[in-house]
Structure 1
Amino acid sequence: MSESPRATEGKRKPIRVWVDGCFDLMHYGHANALRQAKVMGDYLVVGVHSDAEIERNKGPTVMREDERYAAVAACKWVDLVVPDAPYTTSVEVMKKYDCDFCVHGDDITTAADGSDCYQEVKEAGRYRECKRTQGVSTTELVGRMLLMTRDHHKRNASGSALASVSNEDLTTFSGGSSRQTPVTKVSHFLPTSRRIVQFSEGREPKPTDKVVYVDGTFDLFHLGHIEFLKRARALGDYLLVGVHDDQIVNAIKGVNYPLMNLHERVLSVLACRYVDEVIIGAPYSVTEDVLSKVYKVDIVAHGNTSTFPDLDGKDPYEIPKKKGLYVELENPSANITTADIIQRIIEHRQRFEERQARKSNKAALETEAERLLKGSSVS
């Protein structure tokens, strides 16, 4: 008599998958690649390159290596983080971590010398591809910060975001050169219910669970956010996160905030292992509806940082404070903020503009190499 599929499954060696990368300004595109890689196996090992390794092959990073290691570790599909992973992926490193194959997006990645970073594992038959998430990249996010434009908040008659960038912006962005201008526009990310479902756990709280609610912008999702969410989750059994919509964030904070749109920010929050559910476009002030209409909220937490008042001048946490539900959290990474990350870009503007230009040139060469490769395979 043959064994049942479940019995056979129990005896099968777990498939270990290797993914590596920079994961600078960890965004939903990174998270989606890790999600796809995890689906291909049972255990996901993620190698993260050091600052020095990235500097040699690509240029300066926005986030420090310790911040990038922590951001990857917080992704709910990751089982193990390997710091200081080599930029060129070898069969040797995969054997070291007992990985069956390597997964990378369907685009070419080259080292400083122009060689394919995955050539060795490709030749060994231990390479798989996942679909790259269109509309987002670290380069594109750095471009938004370099442009420092409010154009992604302007609306046309249909309510869609406009992507108008002035010649002055583009000249500044390209470092004064009109020959090679990496044009960065508003995100082309198209939200779908399928993508939200893929990122969501879909777990409902048990009747006995203590539900914790936090809210915020969660723009350029970073270590400060992660540490806050981790500490908030520790207060109870179920973490519900409200993410404010673009218009209210811009009305409250001004300038060009938020740099990432609502759906981009929601996906980043959903990918965090400490988060159970998200309210998309949550009101800026915590209302009676927030406290009872989704789930019965037991605790409302906020970091020990200053809070912008609502548009009517009121404290957004007035109701939970009156009800005795409000808890203030210490956050050891509170100094890492979206404004801090933007300031890093501004202070080292020339270095990042040079990086953007190099990245643009490299991308053009990689696209041409990919075109030639496809052409040769057809012929």
Structure 2
Amino acid sequence: MENEGLNGWIRDGLYYHPHLFGGVILTAALVGLSTSYFGGIKVPSLHYFGSEIFPKRRHARRRVRVYMDGCFDLMHYGHANALRQAKALGDELVVGVVSNEEIVANKGPPVLSMEERMALVSGLKWVDEVIPNAPYAITEDFMKLLFCEYKIDYIIHGDDPCLLPDGSDAYALAKKAGRYKQIKRTEGVSSTDIVGRILSYSKDTLENGNTNDSCINNVCQSQAESTHISQFLPTSRRIVQFSNGKSPAPNSRIVYIDGAFDLFHAGHVEILKKARELGDFLLVGIYSDQTVSEHRGRGHPIMHLHERSLSVLACRYVDEIIIGAPWAITKDMITTFNITLVVHGTIAERASRPGRSEADPYAVPKSMGIFQLLKSPKDMTTSIIAQRIAANHEAYIKRNAKKTESEKKYYAEKKYVVDE
């Protein structure tokens, strides 16, 4: 007991007063060379400090938890990149999904339901926890909840302004508390822009799949003339940032699924999750813009190839993608990628335009006995989302007009951010 008390005194001295205690021990060790000074006092040896005292007092660094919120309506690669940047500022990322009521009050009607938006956010590889029905503005009560219950260290938002209807900053309290951090907005895309693209297509095309040039209440243009053409400039660095960076093991069971994956939605997330559960590695083929247009008609795809590729690559269930995958799967392709199983969902867009007949794109894997039809967990397609917007186009035109002005102001005043 006496020796244990001495050891405890030594440990506490080292931990709380390392410099002072170190000087005392060094002095004692030097003086202790003469046994006449220290009689029966035992001065601990150096190896004792390393093997006993330090390990018992060494504490692991507490993980930093960061919070980011958003509407996440019409999820796109800009949302994904924002959350990727937010995660890089901490160890764990908690995401708040704003309630439908708050979106209506501050921005206008959402396109997707809370359940659909939750599925999209939860499906991103950088998200650790999701809070449903979060407020649009960081109130004092909600900030206390984040700090106390969710143990949040920092609240994150992009460098574009987020203003309430009265013109005040939605993150003013977080900034005042010194617990706010900012990330760079992803250039070239926004939910407003995507809604604008959809509104630019004809109502007849969205609802019936026809290819005439009629417009929604005469307010749209043809796709070629649309002012909502994507401004996204893809880079190899962005693809690397989104990628898992891993290859399949030699004996991995590789599952392949393909599609357009346009307007990435909850149905896509759920079918990709189901496909991933069938193997060790999920390879996703994404059709080129030309292929999608040939098989689905004018106005498709709404998002171009690189935008769709990043949205799919951001999904936590996806290991690798083929950018510009062929429509028909060949034996050579199966051999090249060592594909074990090819799957396809039961819910999908119409495969071809009316009056067009073509060979089965899955004929080869079917003949090899490696094809499986998966029952889609959700009855959701890109056209269903587009139809929601077309059916309520007046409200979305009004919403977009307001948002477009704020986005023009942002781009006019934006400054380059060095690190992203």
TM-score norm. by structure 1 comes to 0.84
1:328 matched residue in structure 2:
373
Q: How does 1:25-104 map to 2 (within 5 A)?
A: 25-90=74-139, 91-95=143-147, 96-104=149-157
User: 108-117 or 274-283, which moves further after superposition?
Assistant: 108-117
Give a deviation string over 1:284-339, Cα, whole Å, max 9, x none: 1111232121x211100001246626987110000000000000001120x21000
2:8 matched residue in structure 1:
none
Alignment partner of 1:302 out of 311, 320, 344 = 344
Give a deviation string over 1:181-213, Cα, whole Å, max 9, x none: xx8421110011100000000111112211000
Distance in 2 (CA, whole Å) between partners of 1:9 and 1:107 is 42
Contact 1:94 1:101 in 2 (8 A): no
Task: Give the unaligned 5+ runs of structure 1.
Answer: 150-165, 175-182, 375-379
- Residue 9 to residue 135, structure 1, CA distance change in 2 (3 Å): farther
1:19 matched residue in structure 2:
68
Q: Secondary structure of 1:129's partner?
A: strand
Distance in 1 (CA, whole Å) between partners of 2:376 and 2:169 is 41
Distance in 1 (CA, whole Å) between partners of 2:123 and 2:110 is 19
Matched, 1:122 2:175: yes
Taking every aligned residue pair, what percent have the same amino acid on both sides?
Answer: 49
Q: How does 1:1-379 map to 2 (within 5 A)?
A: 11-90=60-139, 91-95=143-147, 96-148=149-201, 172=219, 184-293=227-336, 295-305=337-347, 308=351, 313-333=358-378, 335-363=379-407
Give a deviation string over 1:226-274, Cα, whole Å, max 9, x none: 1110111111111000001001110111121000010000000000000
Contact 1:309 1:315 in 2 (8 A): no
- Residue 248 to residue 364, structure 1, CA distance change in 2 (3 Å): closer
2:21 matched residue in structure 1:
none
Q: Given residue 338 of structure 2, which amino acid in structure 1 is its aligned partner?
A: K
- Residue 9 to residue 213, structure 1, CA distance change in 2 (3 Å): farther
Give a deviation string over 1:108-158, Cα, whole Å, max 9, x none: 101122210000001111111111001000000000000117xxxxxxxxx
Distance in 1 (CA, whole Å) between partners of 2:261 and 2:234 is 17
Higher relative contact order (CA 8 A, sep 6+): 1
Contact 2:347 2:380 in 1 (8 A): no
Q: Given residue 341 of structure 2, which amino acid in structure 1 is its aligned partner?
A: I
- Greater helix percent: which structure? 2
Structure 1 residue 345: Cα displacement: 0.7
Contact 1:173 1:353 in 2 (8 A): no
Distance in 1 (CA, whole Å) between partners of 2:244 and 2:270 is 20
Contact 1:106 1:131 in 2 (8 A): yes
Contact 1:102 1:126 in 2 (8 A): yes
- Residue 360 to residue 66, structure 1, CA distance change in 2 (3 Å): same
Distance in 1 (CA, whole Å) between partners of 2:346 and 2:119 is 21
| Cα-Cα RMSD | 2.7
Distance in 2 (CA, whole Å) between partners of 1:298 and 1:362 is 49
Distance in 1 (CA, whole Å) between partners of 2:352 and 2:106 is 45
Distance in 2 (CA, whole Å) between partners of 1:235 and 1:9 is 43
Distance in 1 (CA, whole Å) between partners of 2:402 and 2:326 is 41
User: 90-99 or 102-111, which moves further after superposition?
Assistant: 90-99
User: 96-105 or 269-278, which moves further after superposition?
Assistant: 96-105
Q: Secondary structure of 2:73's partner?
A: coil
User: 85-94 or 238-247, which moves further after superposition?
Assistant: 85-94
Q: Given residue 323 of structure 1, which amino acid in structure 2 is its aligned partner?
A: M
Contact 1:140 1:184 in 2 (8 A): no
Structure 1 residue 280: Cα displacement: 0.6
Distance in 1 (CA, whole Å) between partners of 2:194 and 2:314 is 18
Q: Secondary structure of 2:134's partner?
A: coil
Q: Given residue 270 of structure 2, which amino acid in structure 1 is its aligned partner?
A: E
Structure 1 residue 351: Cα displacement: 1.0
- Residue 247 to residue 366, structure 1, CA distance change in 2 (3 Å): closer
